[in-house]
Amino acid sequence: MTRYLVAAASPETAEAACDYLGEKVEAGDEVFLLTVTEEARPVDDRAAVSRIAQERLADRATVRTIRREGIPDKEIVQFARERNVDQIVLGPNRNGGPGIGSTTRSVLNKVEVPVFVVPM
């Protein structure tokens, strides 16, 4: 059984993560879809993010949706450690612009498990 953590702040990130995981997940795997809301920056359409993962992956793996409030990189790292995930999947940045954003960079520097940054 493999445990994947998908950290998504937008439906576009959720779609890209599902594209990546679609060929990887197997029966018995778990996919945790984590959205983190900061007071100043709400998640774009949490319902759509959750729906996308359920529709695209639930027939092959157990998909669990988790919502937290706080600082995204800290919440992602904490959740990954709490649930002993095997891989983290997230977008390059929240704004959809070029380059790796501060949240993704921080996660890459703080975790011991593989991190896949989905192309956007």
pLDDT tens digits for range 73-88: 999 999 999 999 999 9
d(CA 17, CA 117): 9
Domain boundaries, the chain: 3-117
**SS3 of 32, please?**
strand
Superfamily of the domain at 3-117 = HUPs (3.40.50.620)
Query: pLDDT tens digit string along 13-64?
Result: 999 999 999 989 999 999 999 999 887 666 667 788 889 999 999 999 999 9
Phi then psi for residue 84, to 5 deg, are 55, 50
> pTM for the whole thing?
0.93
